Structure 1
């Protein structure tokens, strides 16, 4: 009887020790995972972060939808509202060239240049680059906004230009020789062979919370376009990664040179991406809101005429940054003022198709899927001095095209991340659960056994 009791007591001790070990492994496991992540998230040769940072791990595509004007003559002769038909997508592979001039410094920063390149992908496009599209004549819209209208009329007449022109997709995107300006023009001209940057970012070696955060862009720690301390701030990363161990309530900040400003993204919900849980972050609806609704945007309103005394929501004037009278918005004027949709027909804003989002793995801070969606617009309006604009009735912010720059985690990279990080986490969790569960069962059963043996021993002594 005593031997049996000793066995049960030993079992209860072993069970208690197993439970304790399982509980101890929780902070130990968290510490091991944390140390692994902090090591692998640093931007230096040999880390997981570096391999994905130096060159895009998954194919990045830019899809373009161009707005084809169906009634150009009616607009000019009768002042009709432009009827637009969306054409696309025309898809290009981008960001396929690794970062160049990468240099590491002793202050734990790294600088680099981001080369630009685009390769047409006909197999995932709606048509050929030679497809013809009738679109706004960006040269005419440019002189309308930048020059005295009498001078603009003379230039338009001499070149026999009009408000609209029909050109190939390739010409409209990447460039053509304009007969009026005698120069190359295109919505994205020049692009191939150009560079964005230089960027200087923190490596995270001394402080992992600063990893990938931009220290300077184009040799500037603050911008010079908006003449305001708040709007000229360069906040956050470039969006490709963030610091590890994300918190849902904390917004993510990133800078986009395409729109010449920093923006924030807010947690929307969790998603499953190839067996990996990611946090989806989206731009708030008030990102391009008018200052009436979002006072923080007051300093982004630099042209009272374009934005109706800063009352129009949904567009950002980037002329100070780009040097051309270009207005950026979300596709189809998503979250924009109602009047933007009344001055052209054929737009149908849809949050699912036209919102920008980032899917970020919360432990590592790596962006594993994203969709950056923007629309390029220019403005024209009535003019007494420009003959082709005599019949135009309203100032019109005209959409030329919208783009979706997107990339998603591929199977190979997903397997690598799961093997390198999550397999360790899963193994630790399995060991913890096994120790705690088995230990608890053994402890309870052993204690019951001790009680039973003790009771029988007591009864036998009484008898």
Structure 2
């Protein structure tokens, strides 16, 4: 009788083990649905969600580091047509985007929210190699701009009258943020105007009723496309502003985002999975094809605006943003040190050393939420000058030269407090659910196996005793 009771108990244990294991298996899809619904709910840009709290807050510190190119042989270039020799000087670091978004206005009809990004820069001496008063010999912006804007005779007369040359010596602060130019009689600077201005307005989708569109840009400056490239494809505004993307990132798909600094959309491709303060992130990297020549990437043909400068659109590595800058000022954007650019760009300037590890642009995106937790945007600002039979300081110049002025590294990374919030509010719940799933499956499987083995042993023993 006792043996029968034990066997019945073991049979019940087998049944319980099977039930627990089945429950654990069932919880996998159920748990995934719970996770997906929770993430999607918290990703919508409306008051009360995690995404909204991050959206309206200032966020982690954003820093812009600048390296200026200091010309070592300005007289030799002008008088003998020698190759410019430059030395990188920096970093000079500023804190930017320290102001919260302005004029945040939800639109419930279109499921969008509009805002403006206030721009400002605060110098950070402790993160810089020197002061804003450090002197740098750089390209004379008025001469380079006047090369395109003014008749050669008028520019030559202005240069002689003001006693200036192809290069000038100014402070870091002046070159970055502006100075009164004696030739053009206006304020010039690499990033002038900046302080006190705004980027936008932007209008982005909230993800309400369609989470796949959350953070995707609907309009920029009131337009659904830009008008600088004279081409429907190149004028498209694709993706987000790179601060966040729709949740559940697929590493096999590119991430698209719009860069207002260059008024064009770009894409980034998956490179690796990394650990960031205990959080797994996907690293997406700007591919070399972004600024490739149209010969290598036909999609870039509509960005080729000057066949003479770009050598019949065969040059790689630079983007002409002259029209975006309001006219014919010969401004070109590239990666630092002309990374992935044509060899002639690097060969024309002595002292350039493109390095993929130091000069590439990347985004580290948390794949479940789509939030960008760390990023580095690296760009270089260049201007062009060329030979002239009239302008004395350009008579020895042998060819069109795209000259590097400064390169920047704009970085942002989540702080420890935000990392702990992520791990506590989201990932701890996910891990707890996974623990329950595997615990039920493990206990059920163990109970089933042990009870089954014990039942077999007792059944065999009972069978032998009866014989």
Q: Same fold (TM over 0.5)?
A: yes
What is the TM-score of this pair, normalised by structure 2? Answer: 0.98
1:145–1:379 contact (8 Å) kept in structure 2: no
- Matching of residue 296 in structure 1 with residue 268 in structure 2: no
| In 1, Cα distance between equivalents of 2:263 and 2:331 | 12
Equivalent of 1:362 in 345, 362, 367? 367
How many Å apart are 1:150 and its aligned residue? 1.9
Deviation of 1:120 after TM superposition, in Å, equals 0.3
In the alignment, is the contact (CA less than 8 A) between 1:239 and 1:255 conserved in 2?
A: yes
Other-structure match for 1:4: 6
Residue 341 in structure 1 maps to residue 349 in structure 2 = no
Aligned to 2:462: 457
Structure 1 length-normalised TM: 0.98
Alignment of 1:18-167 (within 5 A): 18-106=20-108, 107-167=110-170
Q: Matches of 1:269 and 1:349 in 2, distance apart?
A: 22
Quick check: 274-283 or 142-151, which moved more?
142-151
- Name segments (4+ residues, structure 1) moved above 4 Å: none
Specify the SS of the correspondent of 1:287. Answer: helix
CA distance in 2, matches of 1:252, 1:373: 17
1:205 to partner: Cα distance:
1.1
1:448 to 447, 450, 453: 453
CA–CA distance in 1 between the matches of 2:455 and 2:57?
64
Q: Is the 8 A contact 2:58 2:101 kept in 1?
A: no
Distance of 2:62 and 2:86 partners within structure 1: 28
Once residues 197 and 452 of structure 1 are traced to their aligned partners in structure 2, the CA distance between those partners, rounded to angstroms, is 76
Counterpart residue number, 2:419: 414
Q: How many positions carry a matched residue from both structures?
A: 462
Deviation at 1:154, TM superposition (A): 2.1
Q: Which runs of 5+ in 1 are unaligned?
A: none
Q: Displacement of 1:45 after TM fit?
A: 1.5
CA deviation profile, 1:368-398 (whole Å, cap 9, x unmatched): 0000000000011110010111111221100
Partner residue in 1 for 2:402: 397
Q: Which residue of 2 aligns with 1:279?
A: 282
SS of structure 2 residue aligned to 1:358: strand
1:217-296 paired onto structure 2 within 5 Å: 217-296=220-299
Which deviations, in whole Å up to 9, do the C-alpha atoms of 1:27-73 show, x marking residues without a partner?
Answer: 12111111111111111122111122223421000000000000000
Shift of 1:157: 2.1
Residue deviations 1:333-379 (CA, integer Å, cap 9, x gap): 00000000111100000001000000000000000000000000001
Matched-pair contact (CA < 8 Å) for 1:18–1:438: yes
Give the superposition deviation at 1:456: 2.4
Deviations 1:71-126 (A, max 9, x none): 00000111110000000000000001111011000221011111101000000111
- The counterpart of 2:173, out of the listed 152, 170, 173, is 170
181, 199, 204: which one aligns with 2:202: 199
Query: What is the SS of the residue equivalent to 1:31?
Result: helix
For 1:380, the equivalent position in structure 2 comes to: 385
Alignment partners' CA distance in 2, 1:377 and 1:57: 31
| Structure 1 Cα separation of the partners of residues 43 and 36 of structure 2 | 10
Q: Distance in 1 between matches of 2:57 and 2:186?
A: 34
Work out the CA distance in 2 between the residues paired with 1:48 and 1:57: 13
The whole-number CA distance in structure 2 between the counterparts of 1:55 and 1:157 is: 52
Q: How far, CA to CA, are the matches of 1:70 and 1:380 in structure 2?
A: 18
Shift of the alpha carbon at 1:151?
Answer: 2.3
1:327 and 2:332 matched: yes
How far apart are 1:212 and its partner, in Å?
0.4
Deviations 1:178-230 (A, max 9, x none): 01111111111111110111101000011110000000001110111111111
**1:146–1:325 contact (8 Å) kept in structure 2:** no
For structure 2, the 5+ residue unaligned runs are: none
Tell me the distance in 1 between the aligned counterparts of 2:356 and 2:157: 43
Specify the SS of the correspondent of 2:231: coil
Q: How far 1:148 sits from its partner (Å)?
A: 2.3
SS of equivalent to 2:53:
helix
User: What's the secondary structure of 2:296's corresponding residue?
Assistant: coil
Query: Is the Cα contact below 8 Å between 1:55 and 1:96 reproduced in 2?
Result: no
1:18 to partner: Cα distance: 1.0
Distance in 2 (CA, whole Å) between partners of 1:345 and 1:54 is 46
For 2:306 and 2:58, how far apart are their aligned partners in 1?
37
Q: Which residue of 2 aligns with 1:187?
A: 190
